[in-house]
Amino acid sequence: MIAPPHDITIRPLEQSDLATALVMQNQSYPAFLCEEPAAFASRMLVPGSLCLAAIRSDRLIAYLIAHGSAARSPFPVGHVLGPGDAGHDVLFIHDLCVSTAGRGIDLGRRIIDHAFDLATTAGLRRAELIAVEGAESYWRGLGFVEEEVSPALAAKVASYGADARWMARDIRAMR
């Protein structure tokens, strides 16, 4: 494992980070997976939000969009979350994005580990996500496994792209 640089700070993602995060999102994903500012920001504001920013030299180089959710109940891309949309069953990882300036230093794992620490403190024991654009091997490396899904959940996952995969893990395992 690569030793993380000490000049990176992980802190809550703030509204002032939104413009840069949206640029990073647009550079990293196909248009159908890019969310409008209102949908993106709503995930930062929902109760129990665990959205995080990795900062180096006052510059956002990675972000995580994650929040409490009802188990096996992902929202569609672009859905604007309201206060009643947060759940307390699982940590749902909606988006992890690392800029080119943050790659090669295991920053994604560092942000996920930080989120898992916060989620564990909040009483969450399981994390779920939809791996997109061929990222399932990355998530497998972080301990996630593909799970069987109901037809209704399969339809939700398919809306994230043809190669999207439903994955989950116990957040206390392999820590």
Please count the other Cβ atoms lying within 10 Å of the Cβ belonging to residue 145. Answer: 12
Kind of pairing, strands 126-131 and 90-98?
parallel
Query: For domain 8-129, which CATH number applies: 3.40.630.30, 3.30.300.30, 3.40.80.10, 3.20.20.140?
Result: 3.40.630.30
Kind of pairing, strands 52-56 and 59-69?
antiparallel
| Averaged pLDDT for residues 136-164 | 96
Tell me if 151 sits within 8 A of 173, measured CB to CB: no
| Averaged pLDDT for residues 155-164 | 96
Global model pTM greater than 0.85: yes
Nearest to 129, CA basis, from 101, 100, 149: 149
Query: Could you tell me the sign of the dihedral formed by the alpha carbons of 22, 23, 26, 29, in that order?
Result: negative
| Averaged pLDDT for residues 35-40 | 97
- Tell me what pLDDT residue 48 has: 83
Each residue of 40-75: pLDDT tens digit? Answer: 999 999 988 999 999 999 999 999 999 999 999 999
> Residue 86 pLDDT more than 50?
yes
Domain ranges of the chain: 8-129
Q: How far is CA 43 from CA 67, 81, 85, in A?
A: 7, 6, 10
- Tell me what pLDDT residue 166 has: 98
> Residue 2 pLDDT more than 50?
no
